[in-house]
């Protein structure tokens, strides 16, 4: 845990993994889901700022303080992990960043009784051929490399995901390296991203009846506006918001701007 973390880690055993999570506030529940190669620390500016809610942020399988268990490398496995966490804490609005958004959408189609709504941030529902090939190369590099290789990969990714934002680059990279650990969870999640090439979420989006807010950054090269448009074509009850001048790492560079669009939407959802 870094000195900037404001809430302690708690732990619960769910299925084959020991899950680490952070909890803050009181009120209707919100569950925050991070992306590939991160952990619950990405929500540090949001966890305690989401007023009037009981907010949870958990670490994905093999990330942060959560054990990896039996790694299957599929969106379905990570989606079932989310559903197990929701069975533990109770039904909630799910807010997912990048891969976390894909996981939340998968779970929303599976269990509308547990996922009351979704905020999908910098998220895609399908992986194209070139992106799948890049992910295959990434998986091979991580498997063949060492800690130095992993850091070089994360530094390269982070630079492109920040889109030139003036933030503490070294701190973000260090947090991500800590979150990745021995890289087993990273590889599992990377395979889950790759899984969306053969198993895109779009057919599942067609059956989601819960409200969905799709948020993207206008400078995001990883999950660009077109990715949001594809999701919107399949969602029956969705709203789109674009954050001007923001790259992929929304929670790191635009937490206040994100809250400005997400909080009113969630409040309206709960009031309806």
- Give residue 1's pLDDT: 31
Q: Is residue 181 part of a domain?
A: yes
Hey, which residues does 92 pair with through a beta bridge? 115
Burial-class residue 221 by CB neighbours within 10 Å (0-12, 13-18, 19+): exposed
pLDDT classification of 174: cutoffs 50, 70, 90: very high
Q: What is the mean pLDDT of residues 108-116?
A: 98
Whole-number average pLDDT of the chain: 95
| pLDDT tens for each residue of 37-89 | 999 999 999 998 998 999 999 999 999 999 999 999 999 999 999 999 999 99
Least Cα distance to 140 among 194, 212, 77 occurs for: 194
Q: Is residue 126 part of a domain?
A: yes
- Give residue 18's pLDDT: 98
Q: Is residue 4 part of a domain?
A: no
Residue 36 maps to which CATH number? 3.40.50.1820
Please, are residues 62 and 186 in contact by the beta-carbon 8 Å criterion?
Answer: yes
Residue written as tokens 């009981």? Answer: 54
Q: Is residue 117 part of a domain?
A: yes
Least Cα distance to 93 among 77, 74, 78, 107 occurs for: 107
Query: What is the 3 state secondary structure string of 231-272?
Result: HHHHCCCEEEEEECCCCCCHHHHCHHHHHHHHHHHHHHHHHC
- Give residue 48's pLDDT: 87
Q: Is residue 5 part of a domain?
A: no
In the chain, the number of structural domains is 1
- Give residue 272's pLDDT: 85
pLDDT classification of 8: cutoffs 50, 70, 90: confident
Asked if residue 17 has pLDDT above 70, the reply is: yes
Asked if residue 128 has pLDDT above 80, the reply is: yes
Domain containing 53 equals 10-271
Distances (CA, A) of 197 to 15, 74, 82, 184, 190: 27, 11, 21, 21, 12
Q: Is residue 242 part of a domain?
A: yes
Cβ contacts of 252-259, under 8 Å, gap ≥ 24: 252/42, 252/162, 252/165, 252/167, 252/172, 253/162, 253/165, 253/167, 254/217, 255/45, 255/46, 255/49, 256/45, 258/46, 258/121, 258/215, 259/46, 259/49, 259/50
Asked if residue 2 has pLDDT above 60, the reply is: no
Q: Is residue 1 part of a domain?
A: no
Q: What is the mean pLDDT of residues 145-149?
A: 93
Please, are residues 126 and 230 in contact by the beta-carbon 8 Å criterion?
Answer: yes
Q: Is residue 47 part of a domain?
A: yes
- Give residue 6's pLDDT: 63
User: Which residues fall within 8 angstroms of residue 263, CB to CB, at 6 or more apart?
Assistant: 50, 51
| pLDDT tens for each residue of 191-229 | 999 999 999 999 999 999 999 999 999 999 999 999 999
Q: Cα(268)–Cα(272) distance, rounded to whole angstroms?
A: 6
Model confidence, pTM: 0.96
């Amino acid at each position: 845990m870094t000195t900037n973390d404001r809430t302690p880690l708690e732990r619960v055993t769910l299925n084959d993994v020991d899950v680490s999570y952070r909890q803050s506030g009181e009120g209707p529940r919100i569950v925050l889901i991070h992306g590939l190669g991160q952990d619950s620390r990405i929500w540090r500016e949001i966890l305690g700022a989401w007023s009037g809610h009981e907010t949870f942020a958990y670490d994905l399988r093999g990330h942060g303080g959560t054990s990896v268990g039996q790694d299957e490398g599929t969106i379905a496995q990570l989606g079932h992990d989310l559903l197990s966490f929701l069975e533990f804490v109770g039904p909630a609005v799910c807010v997912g960043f990048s891969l976390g958004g894909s996981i939340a959408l998968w779970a929303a189609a599976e269990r509308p009784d547990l996922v009351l709504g979704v905020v999908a941030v910098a998220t895609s529902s399908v992986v194209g051929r070139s992106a799948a090939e890049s992910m295959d190369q990434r998986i091979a590099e991580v498997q063949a490399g060492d800690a130095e290789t992993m850091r070089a990969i994360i530094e390269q990714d982070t630079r492109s995901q920040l889109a030139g934002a003036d933030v503490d680059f070294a701190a973000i990279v260090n947090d991500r390296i800590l979150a990745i650990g021995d890289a087993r969870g990273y590889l599992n999640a990377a395979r889950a991203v790759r899984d969306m090439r053969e198993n895109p979420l779009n057919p599942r989006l067609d059956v989601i009846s819960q409200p969905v807010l799709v948020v993207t950054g206008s400078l995001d090269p990883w999950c660009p506006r077109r990715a949001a448009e594809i999701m919107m074509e399949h969602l029956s009850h969705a709203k789109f918001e674009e954050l001007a001048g923001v790259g992929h790492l929304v929670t790191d560079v635009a937490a206040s701007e994100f809250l400005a669009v997400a909080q009113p939407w969630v409040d309206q959802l709960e009031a309806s």
